[in-house]
């Protein structure tokens, strides 16, 4: 009853990610270029920006092989890595998520596929659904040359395959630094599943993850 009431109360809110995920990404190809699967368990990190970090974090927290997912800021300086400042859209930061993963269980390319398939709409410029501003841009922050190569190759591959009706605008940048967001932003979707924003914009992303990547969902 409670979820139904929430749906009625927020029925006029624009969905973020749910509508395009159904028809546009069901046939997303595997990356033609990917990192090799590690033979020994270890830890590597990847940083993705795709709109509000609550939803991106929620998606990757449900992926097998991911050790942790942390909401934060990337693209700007340390002194402006604060939500009150980033929200103005003038700091250079993007709301981002640092994903620490085990490369013996999941590859960087598989993380990219999930990012493009369910975590964000890569055709929206400086916005995601109801959120607009450069802080909500779609961007991949790479931590080494191999990630740069895989990410660039996959964007070209998706463009050639015409997976999306519009051009992919996701940027690729070398990660300058990652700054964790304030404590109250961490695990927000998990802690507040019936928050109206989460229920409308981010819960569908996790549901699409489960549907499209059942073998990687946890």
What residues are annotated to the active site? Answer: 52
Question: Distance between CA atoms of 119 and 11, rounded to whole angstroms?
Answer: 22
Q: Which residues contact 26 (CB under 8 A, 6 or more apart)?
A: 212
Terminal alpha carbon distance of the chain: 26
Integer Cα distance of 174 and 188 in angstroms: 27
The residues near 1 (Cβ < 8 Å, ≥ 6 apart) are none
Q: How many helices (H) and strands (E) does the chain have?
A: 9, 8
- List the one residue out of 133, 143, 50, 120 whose CA is nearest residue 91: 133
Contact 107, 146 (CB under 8 A): no
Q: How many CB atoms lie within 10 A of CB 202?
A: 28
* Residue 142: strand pairing partners: 174
Run of H or E including 208: helix 203-212
In angstroms, rounded to a whole number, what is the distance separating the alpha carbons of residues 189 and 120? Answer: 16
């Amino acid at each position: 009853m409670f979820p139904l009431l929430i749906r009625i109360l927020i029925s006029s809110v624009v969905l973020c990610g749910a509508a395009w995920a159904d028809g546009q990404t069901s046939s997303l190809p595997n990356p033609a270029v990917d990192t090799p699967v590690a033979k020994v368990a270890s830890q590597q990190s990847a940083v993705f920006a795709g709109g509000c970090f609550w939803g991106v974090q929620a998606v990757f927290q449900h992926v097998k092989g991911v050790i942790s997912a942390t909401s934060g800021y990337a693209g700007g300086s340390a002194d402006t890595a604060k939500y009150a400042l980033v929200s103005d859209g003038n700091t250079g930061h993007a709301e981002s998520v640092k994903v620490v993963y085990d490369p013996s269980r999941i590859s960087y390319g598989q993380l990219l596929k999930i990012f493009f398939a369910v975590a964000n709409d890569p055709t929206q410029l400086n916005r995601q659904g109801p959120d607009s501003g450069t802080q909500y841009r779609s961007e991949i922050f790479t931590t080494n040359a191999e990630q740069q190569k895989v990410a660039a190759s996959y964007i070209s591959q998706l463009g050639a395959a015409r997976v999306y009706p519009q051009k992919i605008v996701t940027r690729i940048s070398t990660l300058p630094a990652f700054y964790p967001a304030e404590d109250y932003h961490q695990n927000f979707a998990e802690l507040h599943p019936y928050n109206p924003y989460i229920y409308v914009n981010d819960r569908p992303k996790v549901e699409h993850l489960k549907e499209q990547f059942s073998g990687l969902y946890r």
